[in-house]
Structures are given as C-alpha cells and as structure tokens.
Amino acid sequence: MTLDWKIGGLALGLVFFAAVLLVKPIGVSTQFVILDGVLWDAVNPAAVTQTEDGYTSTNAYLAKSGGKYAKAVAEPLNYSFVFVLAMLLGGAASAWLRGGVGAEERRVPELWRANFGDSPIKRYAAAFVGGFIVLYGARLAGGCTSGHMMSGMMQTAVSGYLFAAGAFAAGVPTALFLYRQEA
C-alpha cells in the first residue's frame, strides 16, 4: 500500500501548521545532541549539574543559552524530544501496518542496482554515511531541514527560503551525478 504524494504532502503540511500554531516550530537535529547528552550523563552523572540558576554542563554546547540544552538533557521528556521518539515509533508503525519489513523490502532497488551493484551492505553503508553527513551539516548550520526549510518557510523566514534553495542546488546535481544510469 502506498500513499499518494498529494495526500501525503497535504497531511505533512497540516501537521507542520498545527505544530507551529499549537506548540512551536518543528526541528529535530538538536534532539540528537540532547540524546548524546542523555547517554553521556547516564555514564558520567557530572556531565550535567543543577545550579541555583538552572542547569549547566562541562560541555560548552550544552551549557550555552543559559543552560537550555543542559536542562533538556536533565529533563529529556519535553515536546521536541518526545517528537523525535514519536517519529521513530511512527516509522515502525508504518512498517508494521504495511505487513512488516520482509524480504521484498530488503531487496536492492533497481535504480541502486543499475548504478552501484547488487550489494545491500554497500547500500546501507552509503545510507549511513549520507545520513551522517546530513546530520553533521545540520549541526554546523544550527538546524536541520525540518527546522530551517519546512518550519522556516512556513514562518516566511528568508533563511528558510535560502536554505531550501541551497539544499536543492546541492541535492539535484548530486542525485544526477550519482544516479546516471536508469533502472
């Protein structure tokens, strides 16, 4: 079962609109840093400490903004962190509703096979490296595509439109280069 792109796009737009209207703009890349901090704090309880003024950390990033991120590490059950967990659960629910992740979904897509061969390990490694590069870039930019592009454009922020233009200016030539062979 597949979802028509028009219906999916409309649903995504409504979710983003509701999130901005009811809570705050959506952004998730910072929450990966918060997850790292939660894991670090579990191993080293001195990583985040509570002071009279709030929270602080021995890590400069977590301590910045008046300890805002250190507080999120100490108290991770906030809207943004739960949103990221819900994304993971939503993906798992989607796979389950489609009948699970079976052999048919694990096969290598024809477009990948035409360009890179038949190895699923190579495909997973490329997906991991690509995801790492995107997340690293998101942290350098101070936000991810959902924060900069999606939420930013909904709020008519010039930076959101610039980010979208840059993302497509980089993504389209990269896809054309990597996927030269047709399936």
Per-residue pLDDT tens digits for 142-174: 777 777 888 888 888 898 898 889 889 998 999
Which range is least confidently modeled, 46-55, 73-82, 104-113?
Answer: 104-113
User: Are the C-beta atoms of 47 and 56 separated by less than 8 Å?
Assistant: no
CA 146 – CA 119 distance, rounded (Å): 31
Domain parsing of the chain, residue ranges = 1-99, 107-183
Task: Answer yes or no: is pLDDT of 40 > 90.
Answer: yes
Task: Answer yes or no: is pLDDT of 49 > 90.
Answer: yes
Convert the pLDDT of each residue in 96-127 to its tens digit.
Answer: 887 776 655 566 788 888 888 888 888 888 88
Residue 37, amino acid: G
Let me know how long the chain is.
Answer: 183
Distance of CA 130 to the CA centre of its chain: 12
Residue 55 phi/psi, 5-degree rounding, is -125, 155
CA 98 – CA 88 distance, rounded (Å): 16
- Greatest distance between any 2 Cα atoms in the chain: 62
The encoded tokens of residue 47 equal: 């990583």
Distance of CA 18 to the CA centre of its chain: 19
Q: How many CB atoms lie within 10 A of CB 66?
A: 12
Q: Which residue has the tokens 């509570």?
A: 50
Residue 70 phi/psi, 5-degree rounding, is -60, -40
Residue 51 phi/psi, 5-degree rounding, is -120, 180
**pLDDT band for position 32 (cuts 50, 70, 90):** confident
User: Are the C-beta atoms of 23 and 79 separated by less than 8 Å?
Assistant: yes
pLDDT > 90 in the chain, percent:
19
SS3 52: coil
